[in-house]
């Protein structure tokens, strides 16, 4: 699996749903120079684990906005599937109330470019296209800085829900480093001591 950390986030133009509006040409380019982006992939609309994540991102949306972070979801479903799911109440397994954009990667090119697409396509001995497994996205998450560079990525298998709290912690760590030049040790939380590295990259010392 290619590691995208330190590289420009793959660009794309696709349809997306935001609130109840279908956006015909959605791109992350609108955020460059203005906002950080948390782009997260999930397998399918109308499933079990996925709505818990989408609702949790919504519940913490104000925390992301305080940090100047745009949250963007993405799956291989169509924009119409996203729209129908958004109309479905939470107590019926829907995502009613979610307001951040959800990208429709129906051609699966975005998931493939971010290397989170499960399943495999191959040509059999008779020249037929065969798909092993389902071509849906794993639970990938990418933190992209204002310059459009991926600074953090994590990919979970489909049964394993993510921690939005950990996502916020990594955002805080990145912004602390950018603002103070201090690196953040294991389990660092906002307000904790950070480390000022020596210029030889060998060791560091704790600093406020």
Residues in the chain: 208
Residue 41 is inside which H or E element, if any?
strand 36-41
Give the SS3 label for residue 187.
coil
Q: What distances in angstroms separate CA 206 from CA 170, 179, 184, 203, one per listed residue?
A: 19, 16, 9, 10
- Any catalytic annotation for residue 167? no
Residue in 50, 74, 167, 184 annotated catalytic? 50
CA dist 6 and 3 (Å) reads: 8
d(CA 177, CA 140): 24
- Catalytic residue numbers, as ranges: 50
């Amino acid at each position: 699996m290619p590691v995208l950390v330190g590289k420009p986030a793959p660009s794309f133009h696709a349809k997306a749903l935001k609130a109840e509006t279908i956006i015909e040409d959605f791109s992350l380019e609108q955020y460059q120079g203005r906002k950080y982006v948390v782009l997260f992939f999930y397998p399918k609309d109308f499933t079990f684990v996925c709505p818990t994540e989408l609702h949790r991102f919504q519940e913490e949306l104000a925390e992301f906005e305080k940090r100047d972070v745009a949250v963007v979801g993405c799956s291989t479903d169509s924009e119409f599937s996203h729209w129908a799911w958004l109309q479905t109440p939470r107590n019926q397994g829907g995502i009613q109330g979610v307001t951040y954009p959800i990208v429709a990667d129906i051609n699966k090119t975005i998931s493939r470019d971010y290397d989170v697409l499960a399943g495999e396509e191959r040509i059999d001995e008779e020249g037929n296209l065969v798909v092993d497994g389902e071509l849906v996205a794993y639970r990938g998450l990418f933190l992209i800085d204002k310059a459009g560079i991926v600074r953090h990525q994590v990919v979970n298998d489909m049964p394993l829900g993510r921690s939005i709290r950990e996502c916020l912690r990594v955002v805080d760590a990145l912004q602390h480093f950018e603002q103070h030049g201090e690196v953040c040790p294991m389990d660092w939380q906002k307000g904790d001591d950070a480390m000022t590295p020596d210029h030889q990259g060998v060791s560091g010392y704790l600093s406020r």
